[in-house]
Amino acid sequence: MKAPRSSMGGLLAAPAVLYMVVFFVVPSLILFVYSFWTAASYRIVPDFVFSNYLNSLMSPLFWTVTINAILIGLVTASVTLVLAIPVGYYLVYVSRSQVILYLILITWFSSYLVRIYAWRTLLGTSGVLNTILIQAGIVDTPVGVFLFSRFAVAITLIHIYLPFCILLVVSSLSEIKKDLVDAARDLGASPLGAFFRVIAPNAANGLVGAFMLTFVMVAGDYVTPQMLGGSSGQTTGLLIADQFRKTGNWPLGAAQAFLMFLVSIVIYLSVMGLGRATGLVVKRRPARKAGG
């Protein structure tokens, strides 16, 4: 009885698995192989050199945009998580408000480009924010730094990825029973105390996961920096995208994509290390796995 069931399972899973192998795993491997090839006069030559990696690491431009990407990524992911937690907390423990949930889903489903465009019109020199500031008499001349800066990129990215982060926080908080919070409150903990001493340690893995996913998405986003970053807010994502669109040095772009991947892993390990050192992240057995 057992054997035919599982072989049937294998057969049913095969098309999807095959699809993902051919169109996701294989392309990723080709991209990795590409990162060791060379591009000479618009032709890509199979090779095995580390120059793409070395040239990137030696290039000041690469470091400028990568540090930008890391800074924007860390600030954005932190602010996004800090904003997502109260909303997630409210939805899980206070009121499962369908209205709030659907308002979040509406922003999540509203077009990515539309939201970038919205911030562009909001922050422009003749944009809504400047008009309000001038009419309120706070400033005399339009503030130009709103647009085309790291600030503009960060606020737009927060807006784009906050709904996603809220949903991740909701799912990680849902695993912690309200009884635990109630018990802590009965024993005299303040609401914030209950959060930091009871919820945060238990939900740490989920919250770190939400932070990291937001970081990876934000640091890899290249459209927002292109539209709103000006010259100071460029990131590695845009550098990589340009290698595949304008300059045409695909192997170099491939190497930079993998370097960015490496940076994300280093950040993840640092965040986990920091969490353990401060005692906020506790190593615990993944009890969830056993339940399926």
Total number of residues shown for the chain? 292
Does 139 contact other proteins by CB under 8 A?
no
Mapped onto helix, strand or coil, the DSSP state of residue 42 is coil
What is the SS3 assignment for 44? strand
Specify the stretch interacting with other proteins by CB under 8 A; choose among 47-55, 173-181, 240-248, 274-282.
240-248
Note whether 127 binds other proteins by CB under 8 A. yes
For residue 144, give every residue at least 6 positions away whose Cβ sits within 8 Å of its Cβ, in sequence order, or none: 125
Could you tell me the smallest distance in angstroms from the CB atom of residue 167 to other proteins?
12
Q: Are 130 and 124 in contact (CB under 8 A)?
A: yes
Q: Which of 42, 43, 126, 186 binds other proteins (CB under 8 A)?
A: 126
DSSP 3-state of 1: coil
Among residues 40, 54, 58, 106, the one that binds other proteins under rule CB under 8 A: 106
User: Residue 38 gets which letter from DSSP?
Assistant: E
Q: Does 137 bind other proteins (CB under 8 A)?
A: no
As a three-state string, the secondary structure of 220-280 is HCCHHHHHHCCCCCCCHHHHHHHHHHCCCCHHHHHHHHHHHHHHHHHHHHHHHHHHHHCCC
- 77: which 2 tokens? 């992911």
CB of 160 to other proteins, least distance (A): 10
| Residues in 150-209 at the binding interface with other proteins, rule: CB under 8 A | 159, 162-163, 191
**CA 83 to centroid of chain Cα atoms:** 14
Indicate left, alpha or beta for 137 from its phi (over 0: left) and psi (-120 to 50: alpha): left
Least distance to other proteins, CB of residue 188, Å: 19
**Contact status: 107 vs other proteins (CB under 8 A):** yes
> CB 239 → other proteins: shortest distance, Å?
11
* Interface with other proteins (CB under 8 A), residue from 41, 48, 114, 136: 114
Q: Does 138 bind other proteins (CB under 8 A)?
A: no
CA–CA separation, 3 vs 129, rounded Å?
A: 65
Rounded distance between C-alpha atoms, residue 11 and residue 229, angstroms: 48
As measured in angstroms, the least distance from the Cβ of 247 to other proteins is 13
**Binds other proteins (CB under 8 A): choice among 39, 77, 92, 116:** 116
- Residue 240 interacting with other proteins (CB under 8 A): yes
CB of 241 to other proteins, least distance (A): 6
Of the candidate residues 45, 58, 67, 128, the single one contacting other proteins (CB under 8 A): 128
- Residue ranges in 36-95 that form contacts with other proteins under rule CB under 8 A: 83, 86-87, 89-90, 94
Residues of this chain, 1-30, that bind other proteins according to CB under 8 A: 5-6, 8-13, 15-17, 19-21, 23-28, 30
60-89 and 236-245 helices cross at what angle (nearest 10)? 120
Using the minimum distance from each CB to other proteins, give the nearer residue, 12 or 180. 12
Q: Check residue 254 for interaction with other proteins (CB under 8 A).
A: yes
Please give the residues from 206 up to 225 whose contact with other proteins meets the rule CB under 8 A: 213, 216-217, 219-223
Nearest approach, Cβ of 106 to other proteins (angstroms)? 6
| Cβ proximity of 34 and 251 under 8 Å | yes
Which residues on adjacent β-strands are paired with residue 43? Answer: 40
